[in-house]
Amino acid sequence: MWGGMGMQPNKPKGSRWTLLRRAAGLFRPYRGLFAIMVVLIAIGTSMQLGSVRIMGAMVDEMDTGTRSGLDRMVLLVGGLVLGSALLGVGQSYINQVIGQGVMLRLRSDLHSHLQRLPVRFFTQNRTGEILSRVSTDVNAIQEAVTGTFTDFLQASLTLIIAAILMFQLQWELALATLLVLPLWVFPTMRVGQRMRALRREWHEESSIMASQLEETLSVSGSMLVKTFGREEHETQRFERSNEALRTLAIRRMMAGRWFNMATAGFGALIPGVVYWYGGRAVLGGDAVSVGEVVAFAMLAQQVFGPFATIARINTTLLSSAALFERIFEYLDLPVEVDEREDALTLTDARGHLTFDGVRFAYIDGRNALQDVTFEARPGQMIALVGPSGAGKTTVTYLLQRFYDPQDGAVRLDGHDLRDLTLASVSANVGAVMQETYLFHASLADNIRYGRLDAADDEVREAARMAGLQSLVDRLPEGLDTVVGERGFRLSGGEKQRVAIARAVLKDPPVLILDEATSSLDSRLEREIREAMAILARGRTTVVIAHRLSTVVAADLILVLDGGRVVERGTHEDLLARDGLYASLYREQFSTPDDLADLDHEEALDGSVGIER
């Protein structure tokens, strides 16, 4: 989908019952265990209700029976109750195995799907919102999954078995009792719909709060808040969201207050009605014993209790549908960059790059790249220059297959990237980008992210080649030092060197260098450029050049403007053409001091000796 809405999730299609059937489909792999659980519930429920029937017989035994008869009956009741309880333990274990298995699969599927979504999704959705759905929503579903379906099944079987026993005792009263129960269906549906809407509102507001917390309580967000003195402003924002959550929570709790009150009152009234009706029958000389009236009253409670449970579960299921909606919204998002079934695994790539008539647009009708064509032979350096928004970074995104072009093809060693496995593309294309992201982990672990199976000696050598040795020597724990969230314990130049070390460890035949030295001092800038130049030796290199002095020695310079390649050639060719490149060059080096710096940098590049 390439429209203006991009990767914004939409509600899953179909009614709420379609949604719940889809949710029930998550249990399909556990059909065998589910069948065993049904048998255990049926036997346990029969034993429990059988004990109720025997208790009614015990009442009659008090009047006409013997002590030994009562003893036998109480032992039988005890055995049935104990057996039912033991079966309940087994049923609970199987229920947890099924429920936790379903949640394991749901969490894994959701995480795996999110990993496959394009960068577009993460640029258009707040991190806090994504995290809220993966954690808060899934945990809330877990509460429903591990209890609701089992409770529904047990209540249904209890209702059926109890109804059968009631009809055996007194079919007229049983029929009258069961005819009253459907009156609860309609209000239950209404309450469930209201709970569903309120639950979705609550989780959406909770996602907003999570996004705000993620933004303002991170290192970068906290520093921004303090820089502009916005602590009070952020406190007020949080209080508004917090107040909204409180209000929604109260509304959720009170949504079915009258329905719950009526349900509880009716359940408490049923035994009294049964005793009144049955007592009149006994006093009137009907063929009904006191024990049968007691047993019927107890069974009636066993019928209404499960029916009330089913009504409550129906409300829970309808409200849980809001959570499944939010999860399925993400699972239904299209995977734009996918791997073909017959994808080729490319090994020992030479690094021959080709862009062939590439057109790409983030949004329909607004091309970020238009008819971009160029070739980079193994070992060559290609430089991308141009004004901001010209499409330079987009070229590198397509080269790493973050996106696929709408027209044309990007090829590596003659293979369209869409024909290669994603692992092949990742293994053969490395990048040192302008913004270096570091994990809250040790320096060694951050470097080893370039190749997870790298030995400690290889990590140390990569750090040395990236110029990190002096830093490692200064740190109290060396490579085992934790760098802090997003690497905030390191300077900008040090973080850039970690990115270079990652690339050294990965050792890809194709390397993307997005210069990130413009904010560094001159000495550190030259040191980083030296490390990058060493890294680029013998590789096909695509350089995004913010400072034109770094591309003087490039084999081919591509000048982009408005998504098109408007000029191409060597440094000398483009200066002689006196076009956009020459204009950009003059802007950067407009004074004698600038030209002196350029001469020094060109000499530096020559001393580094980039091999191609």
Q: What is the pLDDT of residue 509?
A: 92
How far apart are alpha carbons 588 and 586 in whole angstroms? 5
> What's the pLDDT score for residue 141?
77
Structure confidence at residue 343 as a pLDDT band (50, 70, 90): very high
Q: What is the model's pLDDT at position 520?
A: 53
Q: What is the distance between the alpha carbons of residues 30 and 34, in angstroms, rounded to a whole number?
A: 6
Give per-residue pLDDT as tens, 329-342: 888 888 888 888 88
Nearest to 412 by CA among 510, 343, 337, 340: 510
Q: At what angle do helices 138-145 and 148-169 cross, to 10 degrees?
A: 20
Check whether 517 has a pLDDT greater than 70: no
Residue 34 buriedness (CB in 10 A; 0-12 / 13-18 / 19+): middle
Phi-psi region of 14 (alpha: psi -120 to 50; beta: other; left: phi over 0): left
How high is the pLDDT of residue 521?
56
Distance CA 374, CA 382 (A): 9
Interval 84-116: pLDDT, tens:
889 988 888 888 888 888 888 888 888 888 888
pLDDT of 609: 35
Quote the Cα angle for 189-325-1, to 5°: 140
What value does the mean pLDDT of the chain take? 80
What tokens does 516 get? 């990130």
Cα separation of 192 and 190, whole Å? 5
pLDDT digits (tens, 9 = 90+) for 164-214: 887 877 777 777 777 766 666 666 666 666 776 777 787 778 878 877 777
Rounded Cα–Cα distance for residues 140 and 252 (Å): 15
For the whole prediction, is pTM greater than 0.95?
no
The 3-state DSSP class for residue 126 equals coil
Instruction: Please return the burial class of 326, using the count of CB atoms within 10 Å of its CB with bins 0-12, 13-18 and 19+.
Output: buried
> For residue 511, which of 381, 369, 323 has the smallest C-alpha distance?
381
Higher pLDDT, 232 or 181: 232
| Whole-number percent of the chain with pLDDT over 70 | 80
> SS3 sequence, 128-168?
HHHHHHHHHHHHHHHHHHCCHHHHHHHHHHHHHHHHHHHHH
What pLDDT sits at residue 308? 66
CB-count burial class (<10 Å; 0-12, 13-18, 19+) for 49 = buried
Tokens of 128: 């806090």
For tokens 């924002």, the residue is 237
Per the model's pLDDT, the better-predicted residue between 487 and 421 turns out to be 421
* Rounded Cα gap, residues 318 and 104, in angstroms: 22
Q: Which strand ranges, in their side-by-side order, compose the sheet holding 415-416?
A: 366-376, 353-363, 407-412, 415-416
CB neighbour list of residue 220: distance below 8 Å, 6 or more residues apart = 486
Work out the widest C-alpha separation in the chain, in whole angstroms: 122
pLDDT in tens, 525-557: 666 667 677 777 778 999 987 777 778 888 999
Between 357 and 121, residue with greater pLDDT? 357
DSSP 518-548: TTS-HHHHHHHHHHHHHHHTTSEEEEE-SSG
Higher pLDDT, 591 or 76: 76
Domains of the chain: 16-331 (1.20.1560.10), 353-436+510-608 (3.40.50.300)
Under the banding of pLDDT at 50, 70 and 90, the label for residue 585 is confident
Q: What is the pLDDT of residues 151-168, one digit of tens each?
A: 777 888 888 888 788 787
Between CA 113 and CA 325 the distance in angstroms is 16
56-60: list long-range contacts, CB under 8 Å, 24+ apart.
Answer: 56/291, 56/292, 56/293, 56/294, 56/295, 56/296, 56/298, 57/291, 57/295, 58/291, 59/289, 59/290, 59/291, 59/294, 59/295, 60/289, 60/290, 60/291, 60/292
Interhelix angle 290-331/67-116, rounded to 10 degrees, is 10
Q: What is the dihedral of CA 589, 595, 596, 600, to 10 degrees?
A: 90
Map tokens 């030295």 to a residue. Answer: 517
At residue 465, the pLDDT reads 84
Q: Tell me the C-alpha distance between 556 and 383, whole Å.
A: 6
Half-sphere exposure of 159 (CA within 13 A, CB side): 18
Concatenated DSSP letters of 168-202: HH-HHHHHHHHHHGGGGHHHHHHHHHHHHHHHHHH
Which position has the higher pLDDT, 593 or 131? 131
| Range with lowest mean pLDDT among 40-54, 350-364, 504-518 | 504-518
The C-alpha torsion from 428 through 431 and 436 to 438, rounded to 10°, is: 10
